[in-house]
Structure 1
Amino acid sequence: MEWFLELNTEDQEFVKQLVLSSGSLKQLAKIYDVSYPTVRTRLNMVIQTINLIDSKQANSFEGRIMKMVIAEKISLDVAKEIISDYREANK
């Protein structure tokens, strides 16, 4: 869920409103008082941002460790410890 934290505040709020409107872009357009195409464009931009964040994380050391957790090669607790040690060593 680190991708969410890397979004700017406005994009985080947009994602929150999208979830609260049950994914309805039509409802989201009403909330923001803009047209449906404007909301769709904004959503596409947020999607691109998330994809960029994911690709950076996937290629990072931490991303590779998390892939090992997903593949059940290591436990989440072990992954957290490895990442914590890595961050400490790279300060």
Structure 2
Amino acid sequence: MKINIIPEWMANLEEEDLSFIKRFILASGSLKEIANQYEVTYPTVRLRLDRLIQKIKMSDDIANEPYISLIKRLAVNDKIDFETAKILVSEYKKMKGVE
């Protein structure tokens, strides 16, 4: 009997992200091949993969720290820069006594 349970990190991704992951796997992890398929440069694919990695990591933080998750989501979506996000997260952790 097959049970379809989608992991939370995967359920939080957009359809386009899931399509990218599928292509990445089918290309045996070759970013060069993915760049050819999407007709973009290697650095563009690398950036997209890095952002996807951040989205997946972020989903692990949601349950534990909603504020940190919000800051990371803003950074991943280019609403704030990563340096600002790091400062906000660091200060938040200091206030909470986590760091």
TM-score tier by shorter-chain length is 0.5 to 0.7
1:56 maps onto 2:65 in alignment: no
Residue number in structure 2 paired with 1:65: none
Provide the identity percentage.
47
Structure with bigger helix share is 1
What is the distance in 2 between the residues matched to 1:17 and 1:5?
18
What is the distance in 1 between the residues matched to 2:33 and 2:11?
25
User: 1:33-85 CA deviation, whole Å, 9 max, x = no partner?
Assistant: 1000000000011011111001114x28xxxxxxxxxxxxxxxxxxxxxxxxx
TM-score (ref. length: structure 1): 0.60
Q: What is the CA-CA distance between 1:2 and the residue it aligns to?
A: 2.0
1:17 maps onto 2:19 in alignment: no
TM-score (ref. length: structure 2): 0.56
1:40 maps onto 2:46 in alignment: yes
RMSD: 1.4
Residue identity matched to 1:17: R
The structure that has the greater radius of gyration is 1
Residue number in structure 2 paired with 1:30: 36
Unaligned runs of 5+ in 2: 1-6, 66-99
Q: Which runs of 4+ in 1 moved over 3 A?
A: none
Partner-residue secondary structure (3-state), 1:10? helix
Unaligned runs of 5+ in 1: 61-91
Number of paired residues? 59
